[in-house]
Amino acid sequence: MIGIYLSGTGNTKYCITKLVKLIDASADVVPLEDESVIDKIKRNGTIILGYPTQFSNAPYMVRDFIKTNASLWKGRKMICVATMGAFSGDGAGCAARLLKKYGAEILSGVHIKMPDSVCDSKLLKRQMEENKKIIEKADRKIYEAAKRIKQGDYPKEGLTIFSHIAGLFGQRLWFYKKTAGYTDQLKINEDCTGCGMCAEICPMKNIIMEKGKPHPGDQCTMCYRCICNCPKQAITLLGSKVIEQYKFENYINLTKM
pLDDT of residue 257: 39
Percent of the chain with pLDDT over 90: 86
- 213-216/207-210 β-pairing: antiparallel
**Mean pLDDT computed over 221-231:** 96
Q: Which of 249 and 228 is assigned the larger pLDDT?
A: 228
Q: Mean pLDDT across the stretch 233-257?
A: 81
pLDDT the model gives residue 102: 98
> Within a 10 A sphere around the Cβ of 191, how many other Cβ atoms?
12
Query: What is the band of 201 on the pLDDT scale with cuts at 50, 70, 90?
Result: very high
Gap between the Cα atoms of 257 and 35, Å rounded: 25
pLDDT digits (tens, 9 = 90+) for 108-144: 999 999 999 999 998 888 888 899 999 999 999 999 9
Using an 8 Å Cβ cutoff, are 120 and 238 in contact? yes
Kindly report the average pLDDT of the chain as a whole number: 94
Instruction: Give per-residue pLDDT as tens, 77-108.
Output: 999 999 999 888 999 999 999 999 999 999 99
* Average pLDDT of the segment spanning 154-174: 93
> What 3 state SS string does 28-77 have?
EEEECCCCCHHHHHHCCCEEEEEEECCCCCCCHHHHHHHHHCHHHCCCCE
Residues facing residue 50 across a β-bridge: 5, 81
**What's the rounded mean pLDDT across residues 236-242?**
94
Q: What is the pLDDT of residues 9-44, one digit of tens each?
A: 999 999 999 999 999 999 999 999 999 999 999 999
pLDDT for 253 equals 55
Would the pLDDT of 256 be above 50?
Answer: no
Question: Mean pLDDT across the stretch 51-61?
Answer: 96
